[in-house]
Amino acid sequence: MPASPSTARAINDRLALGLLQERGPLTAGQLKQLTGLSRPTVADLVERLTAAGLVRVVGESGAARRGPNARLYGIVADGAFLAALDVRTDGVVVLVADLVGRVLAEASVPVDGGAGTGPAVERVVAAVERAAKEAGAERLHTVGIGAPGLIDPATGDLRDSAGLPAWHRSLAAALQERLPGARITVENETNLAALAEQREGAARDRDTFVLLWLGHGTGAAVVLDGVLRRGASGGTGEIGFLPVPGTSSLPSATDCGGGFHALAGAAAVLSLAAAHGLPTPAVVDGPSAAGVVRAAVRNASATGASAAGGTATEGRPGKAPTGERAGRGAAEPGGGPVPVPGAGPSAAEGGPGAGEGVAGRAPGGGAGARFVAAENGPGSRDVVGGRSTGAAGAGSVAGVEPPARGSSADEGVPVRAGRDGARSVWQPAGAGDAGARFLAALADGVAVGAASVVAVLDPGCVVLGGEVGRAGGEVLAGLVAERLARLSPLPTEVRAGGLGGSAVLRGALLTARDRAQDELWSGRQSRP
């Protein structure tokens, strides 16, 4: 059945608005070319959207040529203002943006652990109000909140979760009271990170993938056929509780210390690094763990060693990869992980005690470790636009480049990637590279959790997100891919996340913008 005239107009208006959002200001001629609509139809919709206050003339094109210039139409950016919040255990990061997503103000608000619910909530709400004032926003249309914990799918409220401050659950109601008329949306932080990676990061070409969050804690977000899956209780992706080999105990309903969290949480990463003789900071959080991983990757490149986990003898390069493994980053299919002393077979080998090289030295998060995927302090990780506000982490080496091609075997030699065209990596030239062995052992643990997810969902792509995932980059992604290819028969690409810790805030902003635009475009486009 053909669409009615009003339905057709609504579809055309949405199409034009979407193009203006995606591409920026366009002329009527460009809208005609991109939409395939006739010139009269485009002229009609431009007039209609302008009258509704959704678009306006923002300039002219062709100013350098002679003759009349075409008007450029753009979305009315100040038609609504948005706020995005990344809620953490000890603080909140806030930003305020216009309707097209341009950031106008941002702030970081620490909250003392001993503060009561009332003072904590008041401090955060006041910071949001200050940021809105700084941005020139008289009122906020929509506020997107990213928080650790489970979101009730029926009510959209943050559920009571062990290990999280009580003020988290009171924040949305307080914002609603102080910001009358604003639409408040709360979403699990890992889910928001996945949405951001799909729209702006490493999964832009994927409709089905799993984001594996590696930060202070662990989590996963599942996107199937372009739809974010939350589950019956909102708990899809609580992978920290996943029972895996290599831990000293099993997880419980209130403690993920015996689950995958014990292999890949920040405490496990730092403990594993210390066991390999690497310098580690005293603070246990996502940025600290990321700093150690980043330093290991740099040092491995600087010394001509690789975390590929190959077993090349000292002074001799490992054999070139054949491209038989799935995912990014070259790795040696025939090599296998370097065992941790006293650990027994690695997780990738599937033997008894698999993964003990990771978990045996990293006892997990302990009591109260549930839902701790963002327990790092404000100002300690990426906030907006990739700007890092935290230290590099103990042991980091800045400005280190890999050895030049053609180095001697004693210095390590480059090995070209396989048929997938990934970057060259460095095979270990000596048996004593602690950073390379640490990365190999870390990849063992991450691959165990990833293999369980892949066996159930078959997503075809796993993105390593969070601070640790981004710090490991293509090196860690390649190692996990190589091990995953041995653990699972299902072809799976492994990618490094592109947004790191900033993904939660970006996801909150994107969610707020989508909701605001949906309401404004639906409510105004039919008005005269």
pLDDT, tens only, 382-424: 322 332 333 333 332 223 233 333 333 233 323 333 333 333 3
Structure tokens at 508: 């909150």
Nearest-angstrom CA–CA distance, 6 and 144: 31
Q: Helix 434-457 to helix 466-487 angle, to the nearest 10 degrees? A: 70
Q: Which residues lie below 8 Å from residue 140, measured CB to CB, with a gap of 6+? A: 81, 82, 83, 96, 128, 132, 179, 182
Q: Which residues lie below 8 Å from residue 263, measured CB to CB, with a gap of 6+? A: 244, 246, 247, 355, 358, 359, 362, 445, 446, 448, 449
pLDDT for residue 510 is more than 80: yes
pLDDT for residue 241 is more than 70: yes
Q: pLDDT, tens digit, for every residue of 57-72?
A: 988 876 555 545 689 9
Three-state SS at 465: strand
Of 246 and 510, the one with more pLDDT: 510
Determine the average pLDDT of the residues in 210-236.
Answer: 93
pTM for this structure?
0.73
> What percent of the chain lies above the pLDDT cut of 90?
54
Q: Please give the single-letter amino acid code of residue 323.
A: G
pLDDT given at position 89: 84
Cα 222 to the center of its chain, rounded Å: 12
pLDDT given at position 474: 94
pLDDT given at position 153: 80
Identify the band that residue 6 occupies on the pLDDT scale cut at 50, 70 and 90: confident
Q: pLDDT, tens digit, for every residue of 161-177?
A: 667 888 998 999 999 99
Q: pLDDT, tens digit, for every residue of 93-111?
A: 999 999 999 999 999 999 9
Identify the band that residue 149 occupies on the pLDDT scale cut at 50, 70 and 90: confident
pLDDT given at position 413: 29
Nearest-angstrom CA–CA distance, 208 and 474: 20
Residue in this structure with the two tokens 């970081």, named with its chain if needed: 108
pLDDT for residue 182 is more than 70: yes
Structure tokens at 420: 């997938």
Of 457 and 384, the one with more pLDDT: 457
Determine the average pLDDT of the residues in 461-486.
Answer: 95
pLDDT for residue 336 is more than 90: no
Q: Please give the single-letter amino acid code of residue 279.
A: P
pLDDT given at position 1: 57
